[in-house]
Amino acid sequence: MRRYVLVSYDVSDPKRWRRVYKVMRGYGQHVQYSVFLCQLTDTEEARLRETLYDLIHKETDQVLFARLGSVESDALDRNLTVIGREYDHLDLKKLIF
Amino acid sequence: MRRYVLVSYDVSDPKRWRRVYKVMRGYGQHVQYSVFLCQLTDTEEARLRETLYDLIHKETDQVLFARLGSVESDALDRNLTVIGREYDHLDLKKLIF
């Protein structure tokens, strides 16, 4: 099953922040400064975790993974809403390698 | 029903950012620079939206509301995970006014 996962990161060091950002660009859509919306299988999520775990400082940095539900459902419409600037809800399947 | 809601905001102007931050502190736990974890009823979420809507710049700022499931369930353990710095999982019910 492929899920919507909102990934939000707090990385204080600019170099590390950039490295995390570059990795995230290959996994999903950049919706806020340090937030990406992804569509991930369990395997892809596990691989992303591992990659980010090796990049971040374990005590000071933090990456949150918020699972929002299956991409085959209306989970995104139900569970992710926005006020202010819209995010263009791309069909992310094209981004998945 | 009371739900866990992850609220993440992108507010470019420091004064507006501070105003949003002050409002959010009354609604939940500060887990990342611009991210709060809340436990909200529909009414509280609607009131929070209204309050924030009046504070933000509609075109440039953005607030995301990610619903993670009922507080009466194991939704948080299933749907919100972290790598790196832990967030201390307070019992937020005490914070609710």
- Bridge-based pairing of strands B28-32 and A3-10 is unpaired
Residue B20 lies in a domain: yes
Residue B72 lies in a domain: yes
Q: Which of residues 53-72 of B touch A (CB under 8 A)?
A: 53, 56-68
Residue B96 lies in a domain: no
Annotated binding site of A for Mg(2+): 10
* Cβ distance of B63 and A84 shorter than 8 Å: yes
Cβ-based burial of B70 (10 A; exposed 0-12, middle 13-18, buried ≥19): middle
Number of structural domains found in chain B: 1
Whole-number Å distance between alpha carbons of A61 and A11:
5
Residue B50 lies in a domain: yes
* Cβ distance of A66 and B49 shorter than 8 Å: no
Residue B28 lies in a domain: yes
Output the pLDDT for position A50.
97
Output the pLDDT for position B96.
44
Residue A97 lies in a domain: no
Output the pLDDT for position B90.
52
Range B11-35 average pLDDT:
96
